[in-house]
Amino acid sequence: MTEQEAEYAGDLFGVDPTPGIVAVERAGDRGIRIYHRTHDGVREQLVEFTPWLVVDAETVPNLPRQMSTTLLDGDGRLRVRCDAPNWAAWLDVYRWLREAGRPFATFTSAADQYLVDSGRGLFRGISFDTVVRAQIDIETLGLDPTVEGARILLVTAAINGESAIVFRGDELSEPDMIRALTAWLQSNDPDVIEGHNIFNFDLPYLIERARRYHLELEWGRDGSPVRVGGEQRFKAGARSIPYNAARIYGRHLVDTYQQIQRYDTAGQLSSYALKPAIRALGLARHDRTYVAGVDITAAWDHDRERLIHYAIDDVLDVNVLSELALPTEFYQTRILPRGLQSVATGGPGEKINDLMLRAYLSRGYSIPTPGPPRGYPGGYTELRRTGRFSPVVKCDIESLYPSIMLVDDIRPASDELGMFVPMLGVLTKRRLQAKRREQQSTGHDRAQWRGIQTSFKVLINSFYGYLGYSRGYFNDYDAAERVTLRGQDLIQNIVVQLESNGSRAIEVDTDGVFFEPPADVRTLASEEALVARVSETLPTGINLAHDGRFLGMLSLRLKNYALLGYDGTVTLKGSGLRSRREERFLGQFLHDEVARHLAPDQFGDPRQAYLDLAERIIDGRLGVDDVSRIETITDQTFISPATRRLAEAVHGERIGERVAVYERADGSLARASAFDDDANSSYLLRRLRDFAERFRPLYATDQEFHYTFPIVTQRTDLATLRAARPTSQLTLFDLTN
C-alpha cells in the first residue's frame, strides 16, 4: 500500500485500530462505556466524552454560552463545531435546531459520536464466527399477549446455534420463565441477541407478559431493561417495512426476518417466514420437526415433546439464517462508526454519509449541506428483439458505475478534500484482495472472507446511489447524471461491437447485454474469447465479463424474459413472469412452459400440458398448496375497500406478515389452513388463461396463439378440444360449448 493509500485508508476505516470492542454506550452526561471482549470475557472501560454538533456561522449567536465553538477549515456551510458540556445541554441544542429548521450535522447516538471522534470501530480483530450470539424464540398461546388466556408455553435459547436450552411452562411459572431467560442471558453475556421477527413478536410479547407480573426484561449489560423506541421502518430494496424498535444496553438486537430480506436482493423467496425461507434456501435439516401455527396448542396438550423439538429447531434455524445473512452487515460495522444493530437496520445512503463525515471531521474540515433534489437519467435499457433465441450469452460490465467514477474521477463538487473517489478506490482494492482470499480459502476462513468482500461490495455500490441521496451532505445530482450518461454510452458501444462481430443483441439493461452469438461460437471458451475481444475496445479500467450462458431465452417484453440453462434450470425475470402474489400452480405453469417452448422434444408439448392442467382444475385435483397465493399485509390491507376480502380473511395478522390465501367457490378469500377442496375452479381457469397471455409475443398470429392456449371453461368439451387441429377456419367458438 502506498503512503497516499494508507492515508485514505485511515480516513475510510478510522485512525484507531483498537481490537476487541464489542459495544459502546453512553454513560451518564459526560461518559462513554466501552465493552472489550478478551479471552477472559468482557471488560468495561469508562472514558470521558464531549457531545458535539456542526452548524453554520449564522446559528452560533443563538447558541447557549456554555457551548464551546471551533471554526473548521474549508468552504462548507457547516463550518463551526460546537461542543456541549454534557449530554443534557447537547440534547437541548439538538431539539432547538430541529424545531428552528436550522442546518446541522451530528449523530443522535452518543456512541456514534464517540466512534467518529476517536476513529475507533466495533468488532475489529474479531471474526463473525467468534462473536457471541444468542438466539431466542418463544412458543405461545395466541399471538396477542393482552387477551385472556394468552401465555408463554416455551422459551428456547441457544448460543451460536449450540447448547440449546428450553424453559418449559409445565415446569416453571410464566414469570419464572421470564426470570430464567434473563438470568441465562446475563450468564452467557452475548454481544448479539437474535430472533426471527423478534422486533414485532417475541420482544413485544415478552415485554407485555413481564409487565403483567411487574417485571422488566433486564437484559442490558448494566442490568437495565430493554428500551422500546416506537415504530420505525426498515428498508430492503424498494420495500419499507414497519417494526417496533428496541435497544439493549451494551448489546445488539438483530432480526433475521429483516436480514433475510436484505439477503434476498433478487427477490427469489416467496416468503420470509422462518420455515419457508429455510426450505426455499435449501438449508432445512432432514430431521427438522414441523408444527403448524394452528396446531401449537394441540401439540402442547397432546404431543409436548414434539413441540419442544420444534422450538429447538426454530432457534437453530435462526442461527442458520444469521450465519447466512448477517456477516455482510457485521463486517461493515468494523468500518463504519455505528453499532451492528444500527448498521443492520440503516440505509446505504447514511453509511456513506458516516464515512464522509468522519473523514472530514477527523481533518478538521467543514461539512457542506445537501443539494436540492432533482431528477436525472437512469441506466440505458432497450428491448431489441422478442421471440425465442438459442443459444444465448450474457455479458456484463463489472461494477459499472463505481468503475466509471474511478476511471473518470467523478466526485461530488463539494468534496473539497477530494476524498470520495480515493476512498472508493481503497474499498475496491480491498474487495478484490478479499475476493482472492475467499477463492484461496476453505471452511470458516472462506466464509469470513466472503463476508468481508460482500460487505465491501455493498458499500462500493452505495457510492453512486449516494450522489443522488437527498439527505447526503455531499450529494451531487450533476455528478450522478454524468455517471449514468457515461454508462449509457459504454453499453451502447458494446452492443455495436457485439453486432459487428455477428451477434444479435436481445436485451440491454444498464450494465449487461443478452445476445445470441454467431453460428461459429458455441463453446464456453469461444464465448469468453468473443466477450474479451469486445472488452478490449473499452477504456482502461472498464472491463466486460462473460456473465452466463444459456440453452435458450424467451424474450417477451422489456425486462420480462425467461432463461433455460444447459442443466434444465429455468429462470424467470420480470413482473409479467413472476410474482409473489400468484397461485403456486401458475408459477409452476410458467416455469414449465418456458422449457416446453424452448425445448419441446425434451420437455413436452406446450398445448398438451396446458390442457392437462385445465383438466386437473376442472376435476378439482389441485391441492391447497397449488391454489393458494401469498399476500403481504400492509398498512392499506385493513383500510382500503379494494382489499376488503383479504382483510376479512387475515383479520388479526400483523403488518409485514405474509399469509397464504385462496379463493373459495363463493368468491370469498380464506386462509390456506381453512382449505376444504372448495377452490373456485372458474377463477382458476381464468387465471390460467391470463397467465398464458404472457407467451403471446412468441406467436406470429393470434390464431396460432389461440390454438396453443384456447379458452377453457367448466363446460368445455376437453376431448373435442384435444382432437382439434390447427386450420385456417379454427376459431374460439369451435373449441367451447
For the stretch 497-525, pLDDT in tens is: 999 999 999 999 999 999 999 999 999 99
Give pLDDT tens digits for 350-406: 999 999 999 999 999 999 999 999 999 999 999 999 999 999 999 999 999 999 999
pLDDT of 653 reads 77
How far is Cα of residue 180 from the mean position of the Cα atoms in its chain?
A: 34
Predicted pLDDT of residue 74: 96
Distance CA 139, CA 135 (A): 14
- pLDDT band, residue 631 (cuts 50/70/90): confident
- The residue among 460, 462, 481, 458 whose CA lies nearest residue 371 is 481
Q: How confident is residue 735, by pLDDT bands cut at 50, 70 and 90?
A: very low
Tens digit of pLDDT for each residue in 127-137?
999 999 999 99
Q: How far apart are alpha carbons 252 and 230 in whole angstroms?
A: 17
What is the pLDDT, as a whole number, of residue 265?
Answer: 77
Residue 147's CB is within 10 A of a number of other CB atoms, namely 9
For residue 656, the model assigns a pLDDT of 63
- DSSP, collapsed to helix, strand or coil, labels residue 355 as helix
pTM comes to 0.84
Do 407 and 116 touch, CB atoms closer than 8 A? no
Q: What single-letter DSSP state applies at residue 370?
A: P
Q: Which amino acid is at 680?
A: N
Domain 578-735 classified CATH 1.10.240.10? no
The pLDDT assigned to 147 comes to 86
pLDDT of residue 362: 94
The pLDDT of residue 13 is 85
Q: What is the pLDDT of residue 582?
A: 83
Residue 450: predicted pLDDT: 85
Across residues 611-623, what is the average pLDDT?
96
| Superfamily of the domain at 374-409+476-550 | B family DNA polymerase, palm domain (3.90.1600.10)
* pLDDT of residue 579 exceeding 70: no
Q: For residue 640, how many other CB atoms are within 10 A of its CB? A: 12
Confidence band for 727, pLDDT divided at 50, 70 and 90: low
Question: Would you state the pLDDT for residue 730?
Answer: 39
* More confident position, 567 or 444: 567
Q: What is the mean pLDDT of the chain?
A: 92
Q: Are strands 239-247 and 504-509 parallel, antiparallel or unpaired?
A: unpaired
- Residue 303: DSSP 8-state: -
Among 571-585, 668-682, 702-716, the minimum mean pLDDT is found in: 571-585
Q: What is the pLDDT of residue 571?
A: 87
Considering 265-269, 631-635, 700-704, the range whose residues carry the highest mean pLDDT is 700-704
CATH number of 3-126: 3.30.342
Helix (H, G, I), strand (E, B) or coil at 619: coil
Q: Which residues pair with residue 44 across a beta bridge?
A: 35
Using the predicted structure, report yes or no on whether residue 184 has a pLDDT greater than 90. Answer: yes
Evaluate the omega torsion of the peptide bond into residue 391 and state whether it is cis, within 30 degrees of 0: yes
pLDDT-derived band at 313 (thresholds 50, 70, 90) equals very high
**409-435 average pLDDT score:** 93
Is the Cβ–Cβ distance between 574 and 672 less than 8 Å?
no
pLDDT of residue 2: 60
CATH number of 128-326: 3.30.420.10
* H helix runs in 134-280, sequence order: 174-188, 203-212, 256-263, 274-280
Compare 659 and 72 and report the one with higher pLDDT: 72
Whose cell is 383438466? That residue is: 615
pLDDT band, very low/low/confident/very high, at 619 (cuts 50, 70, 90): very high
CA-to-CA dists, residue 334 to 37, 331, 396, angstroms: 15, 5, 31
For residue 736, pLDDT beyond 50: no
Per this entry, what is the length of the chain? 737
Highest mean pLDDT among 168-172, 583-587, 697-701: 168-172
The whole-number average pLDDT for the span 313-335 is: 95
Predicted confidence band at 676 (pLDDT cuts at 50, 70, 90)? very high
Give pLDDT, residue 294.
Answer: 75
The pLDDT, as a whole number, for residue 728 is 52
Residue 33's pLDDT band (cuts 50, 70, 90): very high
Per-residue pLDDT band for 47 (boundaries 50, 70, 90) equals very high
pLDDT of residue 670: 94
Report the half-sphere exposure of 255 (CA within 13 A, side-chain side).
26
Place of cell 441544542: 93
Average pLDDT over residues 316-335: 95
Does the pLDDT value for residue 581 go beyond 80?
no
Q: Which pLDDT band, with edges at 50, 70 and 90, does 7 fall under?
A: low
The domain locations on the chain are 3-126, 128-326, 374-409+476-550, 578-735
